[in-house]
Amino acid sequence: MDVKRGATGDISRVFQSSALKCIRQVTDGLFARASDNVNFLRDDISQIEWAVGFASLAGFSQVQGAIDCTHLEIRGPSHEPGVFINRKGYHTINAQLVCDQRKRFLQVCTRFPGSSHDAFILLQSNIPDLFQTGGRLNGCLVGDKGCLLQTWLMTPERNPTDEAKERYNQSHMITRCVTEQDIGMLMMQFRCLDRSGGAFQYSPVRVSRIIMVCFILHNITQQRGLEVE
Mind listing the pLDDT tens digit of every residue in the chain (229 residues)?
A: 333 335 555 666 677 777 778 888 989 999 999 999 999 888 899 999 999 999 999 999 999 999 999 999 999 999 999 999 999 999 999 999 999 999 899 999 999 999 999 999 999 999 999 998 777 888 999 999 888 899 999 999 988 889 999 999 999 999 999 999 999 999 988 988 988 878 898 899 999 999 999 999 999 998 888 766 5
CB atoms within 10 A of CB 106: 22
Give yes or no: residues 13 and 60 share one domain.
Answer: no
Is residue 11 included in any domain, yes or no? Answer: yes
* 101 and 214 together in one domain: yes
Is residue 102 a part of any domain in this protein?
yes
Q: Is residue 229 part of a domain?
A: no
**Is residue 201 a part of any domain in this protein?**
yes
Reported pTM? 0.87
Distance CA 50, CA 55 (A): 8
Are 88 and 172 found together in one domain? yes
Same domain for 55 and 104? Answer: yes
**Strand-pair partners of 66:** 99, 142
Based on the fold, state whether residues 190 and 103 are members of the same structural domain: yes
Instruction: Tell whether 5 and 68 lie within a shared domain.
Output: no
- How many separate domains does the chain show? 2
The verdict on residue 169 lying in a domain is yes
Residues 107 and 127 in one domain: yes
Helix ranges restricted to H, 6-65? 7-12, 16-31, 34-37, 44-58
Q: What is the largest CA-CA distance in the chain?
A: 73
Paired with 73 in beta bridges are 92
Residues 1 and 89 in one domain: no
Residues 6 or more apart in contact with residue 48 via CB below 8 angstroms: none
Shortest CA distance to 146 belongs to which of 171, 121, 110?
Answer: 121
Q: Are residues 89 and 132 in the same domain?
A: yes
Q: Which domain holds residue 114?
A: 38-224
The whole-angstrom separation of Cα 220 and Cα 174 is 26
- In this prediction, residue 3 carries a pLDDT of 35
Task: Flag whether 70 is in a domain.
Answer: yes
Is there a single domain that holds both residue 112 and residue 14? no
Q: Is 214:190 a contact under the CB 8 Å cutoff?
A: yes
Contact of 64 with 138, CB cutoff 8 Å: yes
Do 60 and 75 share a structural domain?
A: yes
- Tell me what pLDDT residue 229 has: 58
Domain match, 28 and 55 both? no
